[in-house]
Structure 1
Amino acid sequence: MNIEKSTENSSDEVYQQIPTSHYLKNVRNESYYTGDYKLGLNFYSFSHNLMSWLQGSTDGTPPVDTMQLIRYAKEAGFDSVDVTAYYIPGYENFTLPTKPVEEIFTYVRDIKKLAEELGIAISGTGIKNDFADPSDERRALDVERVKYWIDVAVEMGAPVIRVFNGEIPPDLKSSDWETIAKERIVPALRECAEYGATKGIKIGMQNHGDMTSTADQVIRILQWVDHPNLGVVNDTGCYKTFQAKTGEDYDWYDDIEAVIPYTFNFQVKRKPAGPNTEELTDLEEFFTRLRYSNYRGYIPLETLWVNADTNHPKYLSEPPYEQVSDFLALIKSASESTKHHRL
C-alpha cells in the first residue's frame, strides 16, 4: 500500500489507489452468459415507509410492514427479497435487540414461512455496523451484533448477511487508511466470517462510499482477511474516489466489474454516482459486463430518495410501489436486451 504524506502537514495521509485496470486483468470470461438472472427487492427501497410503520410516525409517510412488502414483491414479479434487519421489530443500530430472542426468531420464521408459501426466495439480510470506529468497545459490540443477526439469518433462511466496513473515522488524519483497515476492519470481518461459516451464512461486506469507496480498497481488505466465507455485496451506486463527496466523473463500471469475482450479492441503484447526482445507471452496460462473469446469484435493486425529490415517499399517498416497479421493469428490459449482444 502506498501512502504519500504531505510535506506541508505530516498528519495528512493520501490514499493512493491502484488502478482498477490492474484488477480487471483476466476478470472477463471468454464465454458470454445468455440466460436469465434472478432479480430481487432490497427492502431499503421502502425505508421511509417501513420506518413509518415501526415508529408509528405521524409525518404523513404511508406505512407498510415487512409482510406486506413480501406480498408486494411477489405480485410485482420479483424473484427474491432482501429483508434488511432494520425492519425486523426489536432491531437496534447501536445495541443488541430490545425484544427477546424468541420473539425475534418467531417473527423471522413467519417471514420464512410466508416467503415459502408465496414461492419467493430470501436472498439476504443486513445490519448497520462500523468496524472503523476508534472505540474498541464499539467494534466489539458490533461484532457481537453481527453474530446475533447471523443467528437470526439462519432462522429466516437468508444465505447472506450484509455488513459495512465503516465510516471514515475522525482519526484518519493522524493515522492512515491501511493501518485502520488492517488493525480494526480486518480482524472484525475475519471474526464475523469465521462465525458465519459455522452457521452456513456468508458475510457480504458492502462497498458504501466509506472506508471502501474503490474496488482497490474492497479487494485489498478481502485479501487481508483471506477467508472464503467473506465476499462482497456489490453496490453499484457507491464507487468513487476515496473521500470524494460523490462518484461523479468516476469509472463506476470498471470498479463494479473488478469486484464481481468476489460478489455474493448486489445492490443495483438508479444512480451510479450517488442519490444527490443526476446521471442514471446504464443498465445495459452493467448487464453486458455481468454476462462475461460467472455470477449467477440474485440481483436485488435498491431505490433511494433525497428530500428534494418530488416523488419522495413522504409526498405520496401510498408507498412507492409504482416507482419501484418501474425500476424493476427497466432492469428486466436491460437484462433481456443484453442476452445476445456483447461489447
Structure 2
Amino acid sequence: MDNKRRSIIRSLVLAPLFFGTRGLLASHKGGALVKNRVQYSVNAYSFNAMLRSGEMTFYDMMEFAAHIGLDAVDLTGYYFSSYPQVPNNNELFLLKQRALELGLNISWTGVRNNFVDPDPDMRKADRDMVKNWLAVSSLLGASIMRVFTGKYNYKDFTKGEVKAWLVEEFKSCAQYGAEHGVMVGLQNHNEFLFGSNEIIDIIRRVGSKWFGLILDVGSLHASDPYSEIEKLAPYANYWFVKEHVYPNGIKTPVDMKRIAGIVKNQGYQGYISFESLSEGDPKKIITSMLASFKAEYEKL
C-alpha cells in the first residue's frame, strides 16, 4: 500500500474523531444536514379502548403504522396481558420479528409508576417494576422507556421533600437504564411537575445521560404552552405531539406550524410520536396529524 493510499484511509478513519457524526453528514454549503433525521411513530394509547377490548392488537397497530408510512411504534407496557409482570421472551421476540418484517422500529416502551407516594415500600415496588421493564425494553430494541412522576395528594410533606424522593428514584432508574442500554425518559404529564422550570430542575439534579425528557406538548397548562415547550425543547429526547394544547387549562387545537417550527429550530433529530386522546376513529386522527405535521415541517 503506497503512502498516499494509506493517508486517505487514515483520514477517513479519524474523521469522526475530529468532526463528529454531524460533520460527516453535513454538506459543503453552510454545514446543513444532507438528510433530515426526524422520524415518526405512534403511541399505543391512541388505541387505548381498542387495545383493552381486544378489538386491536399490537400486530394490528404495527400494520397500521406501516400502512401510513410511520417509522416506528410505541408499545406501552400496560397493554401486555401480563402487566405489571413482564411478558415472556417469545412474545417479545415475535413482536420484534413482525416489526422487522414491516420495516418498523420499536422505539419506545412505557410503564405507569408513582414515585411521589409517601410509602417507601410502594416506591421501591415501582422502582423494581421499572427495572424489570427496562430489561423488556432492551429485548425489544427500544431506545427509551417512559416513566412518570405520579400524582401528589399528600399534605404531610412539602413539595421539596417529595422532589428529593423523585430525584433519588430517577437516579436509581437511570442506573438501571445504563445497565440495560435504555434511556429513562420522564414524560411531563401535568401530575406533579407542572412547569418547564420544575421539569428542567429535576433533569439537572438527576444529572445522568441515561435520564432525559419525553416532551408531551399536551401536558403543559400554562398561559402560553408554546413558550413552555420552547424552554423544554433543548432537553427533549423524544416528542409526543397531541391534537390539543391547554393554555390556562383550556382545551385548544394544537398549532402544528408552531410545534414543527420549534422542533426544526432546535435541530432535533429523533422521533416525533403522535398520540390522539380525542373521540372518533383514532386511525383517521393519527393519519391526519401525521400529514399535518409533515406538511408544516417540510415547509420550513
TM-score range, shorter chain: 0.7 to 0.9
Find the aligned partners of 2:251 and 2:125 in 1 and give their Cα distance: 38
Question: 1:138 maps to which residue?
Answer: 122
- Using the TM superposition, give the Cα deviation of residue 160 of structure 1 relative to its aligned residue in structure 2, in angstroms: 0.3
- Judge which range, 323-332 or 228-237, deviates more: 323-332
Q: Secondary structure, in 3 states, of the residue corresponding to 2:114? A: coil
Q: Which has the higher contact order (CA 8 A, sep 6+)?
A: 1
8 Å contact kept, 2:276–2:282: no
8 Å contact kept, 1:147–1:195: yes
Name which of 66, 79, 82 aligns with 1:74.
66
Q: For the structure 1 residues 254 and 326, does the alpha-carbon distance in structure 2 shift closer, same or farther, using more than 3 Å as the test? A: same
Question: 1:206 maps to which residue?
Answer: 187
Find the aligned partners of 1:287 and 1:32 in 2 and give their Cα distance: 18
| Per-residue deviation, residues 305-340 of structure 1 (Å, max 9, x unmatched) | 3xxx4x2xxxxxxx63222212221122122222xx
- Superposition map of 1:242-257 within 5 A: 250-257=223-230
Q: Secondary structure, in 3 states, of the residue corresponding to 1:138? A: helix
Find the aligned partners of 2:258 and 2:151 in 1 and give their Cα distance: 29
8 Å contact kept, 1:31–1:292: no
AA at the equivalent of 2:213: V
- Superposition map of 1:148-167 within 5 A: 148-167=132-151
- Using the TM superposition, give the Cα deviation of residue 31 of structure 1 relative to its aligned residue in structure 2, in angstroms: 8.9
Question: 2:291 maps to which residue?
Answer: 329
8 Å contact kept, 1:143–1:192: yes
Question: 1:176 maps to which residue?
Answer: 158
| Per-residue deviation, residues 178-201 of structure 1 (Å, max 9, x unmatched) | 22111x111110000011101100
Could you list the runs of 5+ residues in structure 2 that have no partner in the other structure? 1-29
Find the aligned partners of 2:43 and 2:78 in 1 and give their Cα distance: 12
Percent sequence identity is 29
Query: Are residues 1:48 and 2:49 paired?
Result: yes
Q: Secondary structure, in 3 states, of the residue corresponding to 1:240? A: coil
| Runs of 4+ with deviation above 4 angstroms | 30-34
8 Å contact kept, 2:221–2:245: no
Question: 1:11 maps to which residue?
Answer: none
Could you list the runs of 5+ residues in structure 1 that have no partner in the other structure? 1-29, 54-62, 242-249, 312-318, 339-343
Question: 1:195 maps to which residue?
Answer: 176
Question: 1:57 maps to which residue?
Answer: none
AA at the equivalent of 1:336: E
Name which of 89, 106, 114 aligns with 2:98.
114
- Judge which range, 322-331 or 41-50, deviates more: 322-331
Find the aligned partners of 2:267 and 2:37 in 1 and give their Cα distance: 13
AA at the equivalent of 2:237: F
AA at the equivalent of 2:124: A
8 Å contact kept, 2:36–2:269: no
Find the aligned partners of 1:233 and 1:166 in 2 and give their Cα distance: 15
Find the aligned partners of 2:168 and 2:273 in 1 and give their Cα distance: 28
Query: Are residues 1:289 and 2:262 paired?
Result: yes
Higher helix share: 2
AA at the equivalent of 1:257: E
Find the aligned partners of 2:149 and 2:257 in 1 and give their Cα distance: 29
Q: Secondary structure, in 3 states, of the residue corresponding to 2:266? A: coil
- Using the TM superposition, give the Cα deviation of residue 79 of structure 1 relative to its aligned residue in structure 2, in angstroms: 1.2
8 Å contact kept, 1:233–1:267: yes
With structure 2 as the length reference, what TM-score do the two structures score?
A: 0.84
Provide the aligned length of Structure 1 versus Structure 2. Answer: 269
Name which of 55, 59, 77 aligns with 1:85.
77
- Judge which range, 287-296 or 217-226, deviates more: 287-296
Q: For the structure 1 residues 50 and 277, does the alpha-carbon distance in structure 2 shift closer, same or farther, using more than 3 Å as the test? A: farther
- Using the TM superposition, give the Cα deviation of residue 277 of structure 1 relative to its aligned residue in structure 2, in angstroms: 4.4
- Using the TM superposition, give the Cα deviation of residue 304 of structure 1 relative to its aligned residue in structure 2, in angstroms: 0.3
- Superposition map of 1:281-320 within 5 A: 281-305=254-278, 309=279, 311=280, 320=282
Question: 1:104 maps to which residue?
Answer: 88
